[in-house]
Chains A and B, each alone.
Chain A
Amino acid sequence: MSSPMEIEAQLPNGNSTAATAINPPSKLGKLAESLKLEHQFLRVPFEHYKKMIRANHRAVEKEVSAIISGVSDFEDSNRSRDETVNQLNSLVSRLQGFKRKLEEESRTEQLQAQRCRARLDHLESAEVDNLPEWNSIRLKRILVDYMLRMSYYGTASKLAESSNIKQDLVDEDVFFEARKVIDALKKKEVAPALAWCADNKSRLKKSKSKFEFQLRLQEFIELVRAENNMQAISYARKYLAPWGATHMKELQRVMATLAFRSNTECVTYKVLFEAKQWDYLVDQFKQEFCKLYGMTLEPLLNIYLQAGLSALKTPFCYEDDCTKEDPLSQESFRKLALPLPYSKQHHSKLVCYITKELMDTENPPLVLPNGYVYSTKALEEMAKQNDGKITCPRTGFVCDYTDVVKAFIS
């Protein structure tokens, strides 16, 4: 595995003419690699689209069955002619109403399809030439994703709107569905969450989710807290028992709260009554929700931040004279990077202290008699302006340009 990476890593440090020759395709290659990270960007609107299609289809099936059984029903019963005419008339108007609804649904389906296509077009539009603008939109998309997941809906919407990405490029509508459930859970109401579980029953079952069980457990706990013991027991019979086969341990633990009550000091059961269980449910819901839509479980922002910080982190970042241009000179970035690994280099990469430019074969490093190293460009310029005199900016040491020697970095 290390061999292809080695080759990639060597490119910028290799022979400079070769490097410039390889540069454009490698830039393109990098772009293609970065676009491959955009799975969620295409997947989420598609899942939404799929969901719409499935729901509409179910509605059609239901309606058609209802009509057919409606016809058979009053064929069986003995009705007068007028009654039959009325019944048939009501069926006809019901069908017409449904047809209108169907047309409307089909329009929203098409809109969603357009959105999926807009995202494909957006990915396709990324080219080496327009990369700065494209990247800036990507950052905005990432920020909106973060805000939606963290329930900062106001700023998310404002940012999306002001950057013209609200319509097609962010998932505000999808999160709107989640918002209802989350807001309710925060108010300790489970009904919307349960309704969501019912809506997505088959998929949750497929992924072996136990979210519904957890909701039911919490409802049971609330009944115990209110000392509605009889009600709690009948609730458990109805809603918890079906989970017994797969989650007996948890079920038993929760049932034991009937004996311990909400004021128990026994740690095992005390935690079940704590308010943070509701926060836990919110987190759990977010996870299930993300899984269902094919989103990453972590906000995109956190993922990219971690990767970026690891790639940028060096021991020098934490020194006092770390350049301000390095994000890791900022306290908040340092804090985030603390538990992350340092980057690794296989080849020297030297940056001139004065010009901040890379020192390579084109701009080789020169050594002053005091051991300090600067780029040829910087020292040439300094010598030109000061009659061949060089002053070391870090130590104040003065020497002639003729005193410096070239260093060979391999």
Chain B
Amino acid sequence: MELNSIKDAFDRVTKKQKLSCSKSQEVIEQIGQEIEQALSRIQSGQDSASPSDHKLILNELKAKLKEIAPLSQLESTQKELNVALSKYPKLLEKSFNPDISKAYRNIDFDIHAVNQIIANHFYREGRFDLGDCFVDETKEPEAALMKSPFVEMFHILEAMKSRNLEPALNWAANNHEQLTQNGSDIELKLHRLQFVEILQNRGRDEALKYARAFLAPFATKHMAEIQKLMACLLWAGRLDSSPYAELLSSIHWDKLAEELTREFCNLIGQSYESPLSVTIAAGVQGLPTLLKLMNVMTGKKHEWQSMKQLPVPVDLDREFQFHSIFVCPVSRDQASEENPPMLLSCGHVLCKQSITKLSKNNSTRPFKCPYCPSEVEAGQCRQLYF
């Protein structure tokens, strides 16, 4: 971001501040010197110590101080500083969005829900100390509900980091059914990694034993994969110079740790990415549009508070697109259950209500597709499911 003009303005402030600061010090110094001078004069005139003498000196000191006019000296630098101090925030207001709460709806934002989201965020990031501290401080013990599954997940991941697959394999075995139901082959991948580990560290016999016990059950579905692993047995002890050397790559560990996180979150009904991070990121992208909208909606603040749908589209990156939204190119309506998307025989897609209109509600009367020269019939249109 181009911040140079703002930086310059700030430099001006600090410059004036330094000036004013050194001026203050100078003035104080001056006063101090005058007083000390007077003091030494009084003290040096010891013998002729008549009271009128030191009075005279004091009088002179007073006149001197008046002459220095310390306060008015301070005033001029202070004035310049004040100008800089009031200019800078104005520049900030001009260069930034001074009030980002303009599009905020004044609704009761459920604090408990927010706190629960935050606690969950910490737990899922593995920041259990922060999560516990937060739950404690907010006095919301129910916000710690998701703690224990994530504790288990990080236990598994930590073990994997030190090349220990036991906890991961146990977890996969315990959730065997659900994992297969979800079409995940993570269990096989874990066993494959373990097999290679054993082959490398404990030799061919142990590896073969392991393969019989744990790989065999996967044979029906993953024959090719298992054959490849069995071939590895031939290169026991020199796997790194075999055609299967890539099986040793540490990338497999990182990848599997990621996949495990994904599957684990999926099984406990959580997303892979922190939902808080996702929502805030979407908010950061969407807020500028909403603020622009509020600028043109001034005077309609009340309407904004009760609006059921945003009046303008908020453009988010594709990673925030979780659902298929079909917008009828003719009516610009979003498809719904009552008004589903329909495929014309030419391949173009319109919403049902638009087709009804175009065909004048006659299912056999041909009408021209609005997007190509084809003649189509409403009766031959098929509903689509995205």
Contact = CB atoms under 8 A, between A and B. Distances in A.
Cβ-closest 5 pairs across A and B = A308-B283, A327-B275, A311-B286, A304-B283, A326-B322
A314 B322 CA distance: 10
A80 B54 CA distance: 9
14 contacts: A5-B313, A60-B24, A68-B70, A71-B61, A75-B58, A99-B25, A120-B3, A120-B7, A138-B284, A309-B283, A314-B325, A336-B113, A358-B318, A371-B385
B20 interface: yes
A259 interface: no
Contacts of A329: 271
Interface in B45-98: 49, 51, 53-55, 58-59, 61-62, 65, 70-71, 74, 78, 81, 85, 88-89, 92-93, 95-98
B180 interface: no
A332 B110 CA distance: 9
Nearest to A125: B1
Given A102-B28, A339-B107, A373-B386, A36 B96 contact: yes
A305 B62 CA distance: 64
B70 to A, nearest CB: 5
Interface residues of B, number: 131
B285 interface: yes
Interface stretch (A165-173, A174-182, A224-232, A294-302): A294-302
Contacts of B326: 348, 350, 409
A85 interface: yes
Given A99-B32, A311-B314, A324 B269 contact: yes
A252 interface: no
Is the interface on chain A under 10, 10 to 19, 20 to 34, or 35 or more residues? 35 or more
Interface string A94-120: 011011001100100100010011001
Contacts of A155: 130, 133-134, 137
B289 interface: yes
Interface stretch (B209-217, B249-257, B302-310): B302-310
B284 A37 contact: yes
B39 A85 contact: yes
Interface stretch (B191-199, B238-246, B341-349, B358-366): B341-349
Interface of B: 1, 3, 6-7, 10, 13-14, 17, 20-21, 24-25, 27-29, 31-32, 35-36, 38-39, 42-43, 49, 51, 53-55, 58-59, 61-62, 65, 70-71, 74, 78, 81, 85, 88-89, 92-93, 95-101, 103-105, 107, 109-111, 113-114, 116-118, 120, 127, 129-130, 133-134, 136-138, 265-266, 269-273, 275-290, 292-293, 296, 307-316, 318, 320-327, 329, 332, 334, 336, 343, 346-349, 371, 382-386
Contact of B348 (A12, A372, A408): A408
Contacts of A80: 51
